[in-house]
Amino acid sequence: MSKAPLFAVLAASLLLITALLALDLEVCGVHQQRAPRRPIPRDIAHWFGWLGLALFALSTSYSALKRCSPRSVRTWLLFHCTTGLLSLLLAALHAASWLYVPRPGYFISFFAFLLMIIIVTSGLLGRYVKVKSVKENWRVLHLPLTITFYIALAFHILEKMGVLW
């Protein structure tokens, strides 16, 4: 399998992150308006985010786990899919505190959440859809999008901690 599509997807994703960062920097002073009451308190929403990250990191360990114990690959794949879905659920609860009020300062946050939805969906399609073209090509997108997700997530965390700007 050629690595050219993998690098093309990764390069396009990094360009998109750079564009979103530039756009976020340009309009970051605009979102100083007061937000309506949050459906989930901010502290609880942050814990949902951190737990979602921990579960997603556990899900990512699937590649190493299947190499350590190749006889139980089916079990590790079930673990990978389950923790991926649970992490998406926790991320959705985390996002519920800001998703209902779209503001310009949330471009990176929205991008990371959108990538997570695409990654989990592509993983489930790669696992459970029996169409040959999906089975052959899902990995071309799944791995580079996961790497791009972690880069966007790092920017999201650093931005919300006030380290970047």
Digit-coded pLDDT (tens) for 113-160: 999 998 888 888 888 877 777 777 777 788 888 889 999 999 888 888
* C-alpha dist (Å) from residue 112 to 143, 156, 159: 15, 8, 12
**Percentages (nearest 5) of helix, strand, coil residues in the chain:** 80, 0, 20
The pTM of this model reads 0.72
Digit-coded pLDDT (tens) for 53-96: 999 988 888 877 777 877 777 888 888 888 999 999 989 888 88
Digit-coded pLDDT (tens) for 29-54: 444 455 556 666 777 888 888 999 99
Q: What percent of the chain is modeled with pLDDT above 70?
A: 70
* C-alpha dist (Å) from residue 88 to 55, 93, 94, 143: 9, 9, 10, 17
